[in-house]
């Protein structure tokens, strides 16, 4: 048999091999997904949680979390470990994978993963959060992992004694810069708008640091280097002059985009590409398909809110399932 045909046959049979029926499938292992998992298990729903890793955006947190009730100060990593331990302690099946597609089928949904496993459930909660928004400038893709980073908490220590730029002057950008001051010798924060949007407290701390320089009205144009990043070019939007900065690292902090590609056609989207849900019960426009946390059009995006929304979605999914029985 020709090898291409053999490969196709193998993929086809592999895709049929794993098939399980659940009451509920939860997509995502961030605060919304974990909280949904805990509540679903306590309602005795036969539940599968699909997530490659746990923690979601908390893994990108470069400084301690100081606003999650019960913990005056806790690192992102520590809170992730507590979340993971808590959901695993409950009776929830865990599949370490990414979801590729959700389809509506008779009586529920078919969910397939990137590694071609198939699952079915009567209801689904999408809690896939948001991914960092890319800069979309020349050089960005070429230098990912070679100076361009989307996670200060993960990559900051690699830039000891280097000069770096944080792109984005919101709270995330300032927090990234404040964390980087433990390693880098000079940190530029580039903000597109004329005004800095970060909290006064973060601005005051960065001023005090002596190593953080804030540049407003700066439009990043290009990232360049040979094997690794060695400079960026930005335009001063007031003078329209191009300016080159010698930096060895770029930390991208310009917001996030909801991870929704696998539910296109089943849900409505807001102007910001978030999944529109009914705020009372987190149901999308498709009955039985719920969403929670940062992936939705919920107004504020915080850990405690995502966890609350995950709880609301799970209790609503439970109500939906028993009403269908
Ligand atoms: C740098 C930074 C600092 C922050 N600081 C704070 C803070 O101090 N306090 C606070 O309250 N909030 C903070 N936030 C916001 C907070 O982290 C988010 O509001 C919260 O994590 C949202 O939770 P979530 O579960 O909705 O989504 P996420 O945390 O984004 O988790 C979603 C999960 O779904 C997974 N996923 C995505 N696609 C798929 C797929 N196809 N299949 C399976 N899984 C998938 C992702 O990998 C991820 O693990 C911060 C955010 C950032 C980026």
Q: How far is the CA of 89 from the centre of ligand 1 (A)?
A: 21
CB 126 within 8 A of CB 111: no
The pLDDT tens digits of the residues spanning 139-148 come to 999 999 999 9
Q: How far is the CA of 59 from the centre of ligand 1 (A)?
A: 8
Residue 9 reports pLDDT greater than 60: no
Q: How far apart are CA 307 and CA 295, in angstroms?
A: 13
Residue 12 reports pLDDT greater than 60: no
Tell me what the mean pLDDT of segment 238-260 comes to: 96
Note the residue count of the chain: 325
Q: How far apart are CA 284 and CA 123, in angstroms?
A: 11
> Could you write out the DSSP letters of every residue in 6-43?
HHHHHHHHHHHH-EEEEEEEEE--SHHHHHHHHHHHHT
Helices (H) and strands (E) in the chain, counts: 7, 17
Q: What's phi and psi for 302, nearest 5 deg?
A: -145, 160
Give the pLDDT confidence score for residue 5 in this predicted structure: 63
Residue 54 reports pLDDT greater than 90: yes
Give the pLDDT confidence score for residue 2 in this predicted structure: 61
Q: Which of 34, 51, 57, 257 to mutate to test the pocket of ligand 1 (most atoms within 8 A of CB)?
A: 57
Query: Which letter does DSSP use for residue 290 in this model?
Result: E
Nearest CA to ligand 1 atom 44: 28
Mean pLDDT of all residues belonging to the chain:
93
Q: Which of 63, 111, 292, 303 to mutate to test the pocket of ligand 1 (most atoms within 8 A of CB)?
A: 303
Higher pLDDT, 26 or 154: 26
Residue 16 reports pLDDT greater than 80: no
Higher pLDDT, 116 or 2: 116
Q: How confident is the model at residue 60 (pLDDT cuts 50, 70, 90)?
A: confident
Closest CA to 223 of 139, 102, 310: 139
Residue 3 reports pLDDT greater than 80: no
Q: How far apart are CA 25 and CA 49, in angstroms?
A: 6
Q: What's phi and psi for 138, nearest 5 deg?
A: -55, 135
Nearest CA to ligand 1 atom 51: 57
Residue 205 reports pLDDT greater than 70: yes
CB 126 within 8 A of CB 263: yes
Tell me what the mean pLDDT of segment 69-91 comes to: 94
Q: How far is the CA of 225 from the centre of ligand 1 (A)?
A: 31
CB 147 within 8 A of CB 224: no
Q: Which residues form the pocket of ligand 1, taking CB atoms under 6 Å from any ligand atom?
A: 27-33, 50-53, 56-58, 60-61, 65, 67, 98-99, 127-130, 172, 259, 262, 293-295, 301-304, 306
Give the pLDDT confidence score for residue 153 in this predicted structure: 82
Q: How far apart are CA 59 and CA 152, in angstroms?
A: 10
Q: Say whether 173 sits in a helix, a strand or coil.
A: helix
**What's the token pair of residue 301?**
């995006």
**What is the three-state SS of 54-123?**
CCHHHHHCCCCECCECCECCECHHHHHHHHHHHHHHCCEEEECCCEEEEEEECCEEEEEECCCCEEEEEE
Give the pLDDT confidence score for residue 184 in this predicted structure: 97
Q: How far is the CA of 60 from the centre of ligand 1 (A)?
A: 9
Give the pLDDT confidence score for residue 17 in this predicted structure: 47
Give the pLDDT confidence score for residue 64 in this predicted structure: 87
């Amino acid at each position: 048999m020709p090898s291409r045909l053999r490969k196709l046959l193998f993929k086809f049979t592999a895709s049929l091999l794993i098939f399980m029926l659940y009451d509920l499938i939860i997509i995502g292992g961030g605060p919304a997904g974990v909280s949904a998992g805990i509540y679903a298990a306590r309602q005795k729903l036969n539940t599968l949680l699909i997530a490659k890793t746990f923690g979601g955006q908390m893994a990108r947190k470069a400084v301690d979390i100081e606003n999650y009730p019960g913990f005056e100060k806790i690192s992102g990593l520590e809170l992730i470990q507590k979340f993971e331990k808590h959901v695993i302690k409950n009776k929830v099946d865990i599949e370490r994978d990414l979801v590729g597609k959700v389809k509506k089928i008779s009586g529920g949904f078919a969910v397939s993963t990137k590694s071609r496993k198939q699952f079915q459930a009567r209801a689904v909660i999408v809690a896939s959060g948001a991914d960092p928004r890319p800069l979309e400038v020349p050089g960005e893709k070429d230098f990912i992992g070679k100076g361009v980073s989307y996670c200060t908490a993960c990559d900051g220590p690699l830039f000891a004694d280097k000069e770096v730029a944080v792109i984005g002057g919101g709270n995330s950008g300032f927090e990234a810069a404040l964390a980087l001051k433990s390693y880098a010798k000079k940190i530029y924060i580039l903000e597109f708008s004329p005004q800095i949007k970060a909290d006064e407290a973060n601005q005051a701390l960065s001023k005090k640091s002596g190593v953080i320089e804030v540049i407003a009205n700066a439009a990043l144009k290009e990232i360049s280097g040979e094997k690794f990043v060695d400079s960026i070019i930005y335009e001063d939007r007031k003078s329209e002059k191009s300016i080159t900065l010698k930096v060895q690292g770029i930390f991208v902090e310009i917001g996030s985009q909801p991870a929704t590609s696998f539910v296109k056609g089943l849900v409505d989207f807001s102007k910001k590409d978030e999944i529109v849900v009914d705020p009372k019960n987190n149901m999308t426009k498709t009955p039985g398909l719920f969403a929670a946390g940062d992936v939705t059009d919920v107004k504020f995006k915080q850990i405690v809110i995502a966890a609350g929304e995950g709880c609301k979605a799970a209790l609503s999914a439970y109500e939906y399932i028993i009403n269908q029985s």
